[in-house]
Structure 1
Amino acid sequence: MDRLPLTMKRRSMLGVLAGAGAAALGLPLTLSATPLEKIKERGSLSVALYNEFLPFHDQGKGIDAELAGALAQALGVKLSVLPFPADESMSDDLRNMVWKGHYLGYGPADVLLHVPVDRPLIEENPQVNIFGPYWRERVAVARRLDAVPALESLSQLGKARVAVPGLSLAGWLLIGAEGGAYREQLVTTFKDGVQAAHALKNGEVPVAAGNLSELQSVLRGQSGIAIEPLPSPRAPRDGWAVGMAVKKDATELAQALQGALNDIAKDGRLAAMFDRHNVTWRPV
């Protein structure tokens, strides 16, 4: 004789009906799937990548594009790239691409790459989990050795013209250095450090400044050119690490991505990705 209480019978029947309805509609049976389980159910990892951001990503190519593909492969799913333009602040990008979505209707993605692993940023954005540093960026300067033999201080620039993107940390540091002493010799019309590096390579200027990755991607290995940290006391001494971000509750996904990143770094694939784009990778 069936002695189950009536309420338990009803709950059991409702569960069966819900499962049958979901199956009939072709929906997953797990109603409370974790973010990682949802990714595996749909068979793809959505990765947000900054656009027009060489050497890391532009039009589906770059270091971050390759890393995104390797992360998806490690999870056993396909890659779905969500390219987007940077907003006013990093917190805006985290809101639009990680935990809420953009008001124009795109996003969020499962994970955003190239996020500063920075304590104040982490504290300002409790909705996300920032982890997995894979690159340490620095403000750098490249120079032709025949024009500027040494550069232990900015005073050794002399009157040399310097190509630098005006709307960048390198530009801000040089424009304000020593009370604006170098403003007249700065060429600040460049979009980014990659363009500034090309100006040096093409002989337009003897010095270029920008992010280390930008300058190396164009100039690493060029004869007669040195690339080194910008000698400014206001520049971040150790640079800044960049990693990735997921929603705060996506703990299992974060652990899986961190494990995949560890493997990619350990077996040399990460260094090879950077090398293919002419950038020297070192452990963070």
Structure 2
Amino acid sequence: MGSSYMFKLTTLLYALLVLMTASLAHARTYDDVIASKYIEFAVYRDFAPYSFMQEGEPAGIDVELGKYIARELGLEARWLWLTADESVDDDLRNAIWKGSVIDRKKADVMLRVPYDREYSYAQDGYGLPRNDMVVMLAPYHKESWQLVRDLNKTGEVRNLAIFQYQAIGVELDSLPDFFLVGIYQGRLRENVHHYATVFGALKDLNAGKLSAVAGMRSQLEWGLPNRPGNFDIDDDGLESLGRKTWDIGIAIKENYRQLGYAVNDVITAMIENGDMEKIFSQYRVSYHLPSTYELDAE
């Protein structure tokens, strides 16, 4: 009984472990989601004003959006907190189609995904689709890179040349960071100050240590709740930035499109009835229609 019994027991335990892991990793169909009475959204951790913890509770634009979608579908909203990896491809893998390397847990829907046809159909180095495991749809906002300037320091100068003499803050390794240290043959480099988050830069701007900060418009607006009249936000000087604006949407696993269509219908209605804009206003962020809706209006 000894060795034979132990072998069978070990085999059984291993099989159970595999089944449990597969269950955790299993992506859920629309019917699964409705039957469970909850829907789980992947949102980025510590990413104000979109998703963050406030007084021990989830908060932010994307959290409010998730709650709204869940309510319209008659479900409870739950959250899969996602730490940003090296690329959006990695985030999609971890959140939607494969799961984290630790527990393989996945969400039903990922929020704040770049909605871009070129990106959606991009190919890898072997000519194969990079994102064939996910579907990106339901654009709900247009984000942009902007500058907030202290006009008492920059005056009427609207180009970037002034930052050869004035200090400007950026989040480390962001697109504005790479852009500013490289433009004008690197002549701005000494005056580009790096911060772990854009909010650290805004703190120094308020303290008079910087003349400007470059970042996402939503974060600049959120981070300056009592913006003085001499702080101006626009995109002047960023004309040669690779991409100044981009749409934001959702992602689901490729073979569960019915769920995506249901969420898309809710988001479309929110945009059309003004509820989407109200959520952004709640967080002091100006709302901008995705490019799809702008084209439809022309």
TM-score for the superposition, normalised by structure 2: 0.80
1:190-269 equivalent positions in 2, closer than 5 A: 190-219=195-224, 221-229=227-235, 231-269=237-275
What per-residue deviation string (whole Å, max 9, x for no partner) do you get for residues 27-78 of structure 1? xxxxxx9711111100000000011111111121111111111111111100
Q: Which residue of 2 aligns with 1:55?
A: 49
Alignment check: 8 A CA contact 1:140 1:229 kept: yes
Q: CA 1:151–1:132 in structure 2 vs 1: closer, same or farther (change >3 Å)?
A: farther
1:251 Cα deviation after fit: 1.6
Distance 1:119 1:248 in 2: 15
Q: CA 1:192–1:131 in structure 2 vs 1: closer, same or farther (change >3 Å)?
A: same
Q: Which residue of 1 aligns with 2:71?
A: 73
Distance 1:79 1:34 in 2: 15
1:163 Cα deviation after fit: 1.2
Q: Which moved more, 1:109-118 or 1:99-108?
A: 99-108
Amino acid at match of 2:262: A
Distance 1:165 1:150 in 2: 25
Distance 2:236 2:222 in 1: 17
Asked if 1:142 corresponds to 2:148, the answer is yes
Amino acid at match of 2:45: N
Q: Which residue of 2 aligns with 1:7?
A: none
1:136 Cα deviation after fit: 1.3
1:12-23 equivalent positions in 2, closer than 5 A: none
Alignment check: 8 A CA contact 2:46 2:52 kept: yes
Amino acid at match of 1:198: K
1:106 Cα deviation after fit: 4.4
Which structure 1 residue ranges, 4+ long, deviate > 4 Å from structure 2? Answer: none
Asked if 1:278 corresponds to 2:288, the answer is no
Amino acid at match of 1:225: F
Q: Which residue of 2 aligns with 1:22?
A: none
Distance 2:171 2:133 in 1: 32
What per-residue deviation string (whole Å, max 9, x for no partner) do you get for residues 82-136 of structure 1? 1110111111111111111111114210000010012343122011110111121
Amino acid at match of 1:211: M
Asked if 1:107 corresponds to 2:93, the answer is no
Distance 2:198 2:140 in 1: 20
Distance 2:182 2:258 in 1: 45
What per-residue deviation string (whole Å, max 9, x for no partner) do you get for residues 203-234 of structure 1? 22121111111111123653211001151343
Amino acid at match of 1:182: L
Distance 1:199 1:273 in 2: 28
Distance 1:232 1:258 in 2: 32
1:179 Cα deviation after fit: 1.3
Q: Which residue of 2 aligns with 1:183?
A: 189
What per-residue deviation string (whole Å, max 9, x for no partner) do you get for residues 123-158 of structure 1? 220111101111211111111111112343211335
Amino acid at match of 2:72: A
What per-residue deviation string (whole Å, max 9, x for no partner) do you get for residues 220-271 of structure 1? 6532110011513431455111111001111211111111001212222211
Alignment check: 8 A CA contact 1:113 1:244 kept: yes
Alignment check: 8 A CA contact 1:39 1:45 kept: yes
What per-residue deviation string (whole Å, max 9, x for no partner) do you get for residues 150-192 of structure 1? 343211335111111121111111111111111111111x122
TM-score for the superposition, normalised by structure 1: 0.83
Instruction: Give the count of matched residue pairs.
Output: 251
Between the aligned residues of both structures, percent identity stands at 27
Amino acid at match of 1:253: L
Alignment check: 8 A CA contact 1:69 1:79 kept: yes
Alignment check: 8 A CA contact 1:47 1:110 kept: yes
Distance 2:28 2:97 in 1: 15
Q: Which residue of 2 aligns with 1:39?
A: 33
1:279 Cα deviation after fit: 0.8
Distance 1:194 1:263 in 2: 33
